[in-house]
Structure 1
């Protein structure tokens, strides 16, 4: 389950570098922004500021705290733009678009995965006499990703026509906070477990997503969704149990990796369900990307400044130009990948997008094993096969359900959000 000898056991790290300590320090930094903001919002609502407020600050406060409070009801006012139909396009053009989308997603996220493992598990500046040093602050990488995503989404919204925004801005902060924590857990977990293990754990997140869906959105699921979730859990268990334990890695280290993966899955499940609830307002996916990343930048830069970690990370970048290139490319791949997600879903729908991303996960495992030398046993390989078989089965069953729903009367056709 571990990446190899490059991973230092948690017990050998200083207390300040231990992931649990860093987690609480980061959480305290976010709380220093969230708590005053929460109190201010409650104060403005108690004062009925929407009715009594005036002045040059009123439009900003209204947008941040109250919004327009107008939720979309009809499909033409929906959060997702209608998917482009290929009726007027030639077959060759559609094939070219599909290849473009597939290539963009594969290149963006495969490069992102390779760089992620490189940054978190290898040293920089190593020579024959100097072992080099590792970059340890996962929160700075999250900040780098979010600041570029915020910039790209902002430019896109400014240059293209978007729906009139109606959601109170502060509601993005919930998804932003859980998104930051899930990304932090994802980066931090690579210090303790292998990248293939992390990829399979991501595939198994459909289980907590379904649980969160029941708790947060009161959703109901079909029998095939429970079946495929069970198959995924069996496949992941086969892979984990077949992985030979590394003698250099302590039980505490392995346990830390499992806990961080669990944290990633839980926080990410909340993020997707909260964003799905926010889509009841009239907004586009890029507006969602912009709103979430506004708060992500605010939270991460505030926490980094409070800890003094921002300057420390910038000094690390100055010492190691290779790390600078990796961190920038990591952020570019993350931001471009999100845009490819929106474009692919708009052009070809969620089913095609899911197939492309499922193949990407399989390629990511193969690429990681080739570059970083991870070993997979026969039973582990069978577990991987079971996981991806279940994922493709979900895509097939969902497409069948979608075709069946088209036979319903127009007023009863459900709208699927991604």
Structure 2
């Protein structure tokens, strides 16, 4: 929402900002409360500033991508979800090919993934081809749902769905592992579901306003 407002002057209503604050605040506070001292001790070199910086960059680029997808959808209404999906995967393939195959040839001390080593591994272990195929197939199915959601409901709805899914995974894993939720964690869960409930109500109210006879 922030990227859409700053880059493309997208206007959101105050209730939409409020709902987003509840969901994002609830997820963030729950994640912070979930991080225990035991978890931090397991880290080889804990570096909180670097971690927060990487999280900020990830959110910034993700916000830019989502807001740009909304602009593309509004400017080019005939663009279907698979056009955007093709463009993303095409450029992603080009970028990865440069990083994995071109950069190692140009820089002898290249510290990142080496595509040639990956190819050698596949040649030595041909049975891995089936796992790679299944991984790509599952990824393609997942992307279909993502881009269909973006095309029909917008990037903000898609972000809300994916954020809620991650949040529910954390909550379910806590329950399954037998770790009871503290009162503060229960407050975070309440914030998330309150934000989602208000979003659903606002959407229902808008749809009812568009079709009063129904």
Give the TM-score taking structure 1 as reference length.
0.39
Name the SS of the counterpart of 1:247 in structure 2.
helix
Hey, which of these two has a bigger chunk of helix by percent? 2
Q: Which moved more, 1:354-363 or 1:253-262?
A: 354-363
Q: Which residue of 2 aligns with 1:221?
A: 12
Deviation at 1:268, TM superposition (A): 1.1
Aligned to 2:191: 386
Deviation at 1:267, TM superposition (A): 0.7
Kept in 2, the 8 Å contact 1:231–1:387? The answer is yes
Of 224, 236, 254, the residue aligned with 2:27 is 236
From 197, 207, 212, give the equivalent of 1:402.
Answer: 207
Structure 1 runs not aligned, ≥5 long: 1-209, 408-418
1:297-355 per-residue CA deviation (whole Å, 9 max, x = no partner) reads: 11211221123311122334556779765554333222112223456788xx639x868
How big is each residue's C-alpha offset from its partner over 1:246-272, in whole Å with a ceiling of 9 and x where there is no partner?
Answer: 323267444433332222211111111
Q: Deviations over 1:179-200 (max 9, x none)?
A: xxxxxxxxxxxxxxxxxxxxxx
Distance in structure 2 (CA, Å) of the matches to 1:256 and 1:273: 26
Deviations 1:194-216 (A, max 9, x none): xxxxxxxxxxxxxxxx1111112
**Equivalent residue, structure 2, for 1:334:** 139
Is 1:310 the counterpart of 2:115? The answer is: yes
- Per-residue deviation, 1:382: 3.4
Does residue 276 in structure 1 map to residue 70 in structure 2? yes
> Offset at 1:398?
2.6
The CA distance in 1 between the partners of 2:55 and 2:6, in whole Å, is: 21
Give 1:107-256 correspondences, 5 Å limit. 210-242=1-33, 243-245=35-37, 246-249=40-43, 252-256=46-50
Pick aligned residue for 1:285 from 73, 81, 85 = 81
Q: Deviations over 1:374-413 (max 9, x none)?
A: 9674233432342243133223213322332456xxxxxx
Aligned to 1:263: 57
Distance 1:228 1:250, change over 3 A: farther
Structure-to-structure mapping, 1:15-26, within 5 angstroms? none
The answer to which of 229-238 and 268-277 deviates more is 229-238
Quote the offset at 1:362 in angstroms: 4.6
CA distance in 1, matches of 2:197, 2:166: 12
Alpha carbons of structure 1 residues 369 and 290: separation in structure 2 relative to 1, 3 Å: same
Measured in 1, the distance between the counterparts of 2:116 and 2:178 equals 34
> Aligned pair in 2 of structure 1 residues 405, 336: CA closer, same or farther (>3 Å)?
same
Cα distance, 1:278 vs. partner? 1.9
Alpha-carbon separation, structure 1, partners of 2:52 and 2:97: 28
Specify the alignment match of 1:89 in structure 2: none
Q: Distance in 2 between matches of 1:345 and 1:300?
A: 24
The answer on whether the counterparts of 2:4 and 2:10 sit within 8 Å (CA) in structure 1 is yes
CA distance in 2, matches of 1:319, 1:259: 39
2:100, 2:178 → 1: CA distance?
33
Going from structure 1 to structure 2, the CA distance change for 1:307 and 1:223 (only over 3 Å counts) comes to: same
Q: Tell me: CA distance 1:335–1:388, structure 2 relative to 1, closer, same or farther (3 Å).
A: farther
Q: Confirm or deny: 8 A CA contact 1:358 1:391 kept in the other structure.
A: no
Compared with structure 1, are the counterparts of its residues 294 and 252 closer, same or farther at alpha carbon in structure 2 (3 Å cutoff)?
same
TM-score, scaled relative to structure 2: 0.70
Rg: which structure is higher?
1
